[in-house]
């Protein structure tokens, strides 16, 4: 067995945490994995693992070899990807993560068409509201909603993501309409647990001043669709991305309130990929599909208030 094969076995042992577990993943026996690790240690003339009867853990040399070996294997796989990209038809697996609500509501149809157009690309899709470790979990592309992404990623902006305050007409008729963010303190607020400081709202007024208001939530969840449904039912007021409530605004089931105040900082929808990783042809095609799709979404920039991209909701939704 060559050194690269042993390196892959070593990385799998680190990932799984045992020889037996790695063997099951690699269709090998635990003793076979242990033998190959021993051969690798003999080649390198260092001890890579501390072994007990129940577990294995990396030595200092093992930690160093893991970091270098993992990068070397990634570089080798990227080189193979570049060679495959020379082929006319893009092939191979593509692992993508995206927010649950946005992904299902706005991306699923386009992704289905992408799968039909490129049948040799094996899509591995993950829909979740929680954060993922892009590098450790091996994602090629992640779709993210928020402020400017971390510099460890390269990014393509897909669309602006206005965050708005809304309530049902029935709730407002019963409880009154807030006229300033401070008024939210006396209202029933439904909060999204997927953001930091969920019981507060940072906003910018018409003069460009940035302020913050704190409030108590009477209901919270980690899913925007759940929160929207509760708002439509009259449970309370919520602060959500426009794409979550756009259809309900069109139908008059929700009313956009506090329109002179804009969430701060600016949020956009991005396609991200690791900055140190080769962007394969299939990944480029997928990102191009997302960019083309964003032009059709009702989230395009129509106007700008206080230097924050906002939708001209009247023009976009055909409201008078």
pLDDT in tens, 277-298: 777 888 999 999 998 887 766 4
Beta-carbon contacts of residue 50 (< 8 Å; ≥ 6 apart)? 56, 57, 58, 59
The predicted-structure confidence for 252-279, as pLDDT tens digits, reads as follows 999 999 999 999 988 889 998 887 777 7
* Residue 170 to residue 177: CA distance in whole angstroms: 11
* pLDDT mean over 123-150: 82
CB atoms < 10 A from the CB of 95, how many? 17
Q: How far apart are CA 109 and CA 114, in angstroms?
A: 9
**Which of 129-138, 207-216, 251-260 is least confident?**
129-138
Residue recorded with tokens 């409201």: 319
What is the DSSP secondary-structure string of 107-141? Answer: IHHHHHHHHHH-TTEEEEEEE-SS---TTTTT-SE
The DSSP call for residue 188 is: -
Quickly list DSSP for 219-241: EEES-HHHHHHHHHTTS-EEEEE
pLDDT at residue 318 in the model: 39
Tell the residue number behind the tokens 């501390």, with chain if given: 50
Half-sphere exposure of 260 (CA within 13 A, CB side): 8
Residue 316: pLDDT above 60? no
Q: Is the pLDDT of residue 123 over 70?
A: yes
The residues that bridge with 123 in the sheet, in sequence order, are 94
**Residues pairing with 95 in the sheet:** 124
Kindly report which listed range (37-46, 141-150, 181-190) carries the lowest average pLDDT score: 141-150
| C-alpha torsion angle, residues 20, 21, 25, 30 (rounded to 10) | -10
Mean pLDDT of all residues belonging to the chain? 85
Give the pLDDT band (50/70/90) at residue 169: very high
- Residue 129 token pair: 């509201």
Instruction: Provide the token pair at 236.
Output: 């309370």
Which residues, in sequence order, are bridge partners of residue 221?
192
C-beta atoms surrounding 35 within 10 Å: 15
Report whether the peptide linkage leading into residue 74 is cis, meaning its omega lies within 30 degrees of zero.
no
Per-residue pLDDT averaged across 92-100, rounded?
91
List of domains in the chain: 3-85 (1.10.10.10), 92-161+267-298 (3.40.190.10), 163-263 (3.40.190.10)
């Amino acid at each position: 067995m060559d050194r690269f094969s042993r390196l892959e076995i070593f990385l799998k042992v680190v990932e799984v945490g045992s020889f037996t577990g790695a063997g099951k993943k690699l269709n090998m026996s635990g003793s076979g994995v242990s033998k190959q690790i021993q051969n690798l240690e003999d080649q390198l003339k260092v001890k890579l693992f501390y072994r007990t009867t129940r577990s294995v853990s990396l030595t200092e040399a093992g930690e160093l070899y893991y970091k270098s070996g993992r990068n070397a294997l990634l570089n080798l796989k990227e080189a193979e990807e570049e060679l495959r990209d020379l082929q006319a038809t893009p092939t191979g697996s593509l692992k993508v993560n995206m927010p649950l609500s946005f992904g299902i509501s706005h991306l699923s149809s386009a992704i289905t068409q992408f799968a039909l157009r490129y049948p040799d690309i094996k899509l591995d899709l993950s829909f979740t509201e929680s954060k993922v470790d892009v590098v450790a979990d091996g994602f090629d592309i992640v779709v993210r909603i928020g402020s400017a992404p971390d510099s460890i990623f390269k990014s393509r902006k897909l669309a602006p993501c206005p965050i708005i305050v809304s309530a049902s007409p029935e709730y407002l008729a019963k409880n009154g309409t807030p006229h300033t963010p401070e008024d939210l303190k006396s209202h029933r607020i439904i909060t999204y647990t997927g953001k930091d400081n969920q019981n507060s709202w940072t906003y910018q007024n018409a003069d460009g001043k940035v302020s913050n208001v704190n409030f108590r939530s009477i209901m919270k969840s980690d899913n925007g669709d759940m929160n929207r449904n509760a708002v439509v039912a009259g449970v309370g007021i919520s602060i959500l991305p426009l794409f979550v409530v756009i259809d309900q605004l069109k139908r008059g089931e929700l009313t956009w309130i506090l329109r002179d105040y804009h969430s701060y900082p600016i949020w956009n929808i991005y396609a991200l990929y690791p900055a140190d990783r080769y962007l394969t042809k299939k990944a480029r095609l997928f990102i191009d599909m997302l960019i083309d799709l964003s032009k059709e979404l009702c989230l395009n920039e129509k106007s700008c208030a206080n230097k924050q991209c906002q939708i001209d909701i009247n023009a976009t939704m055909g409201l008078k």
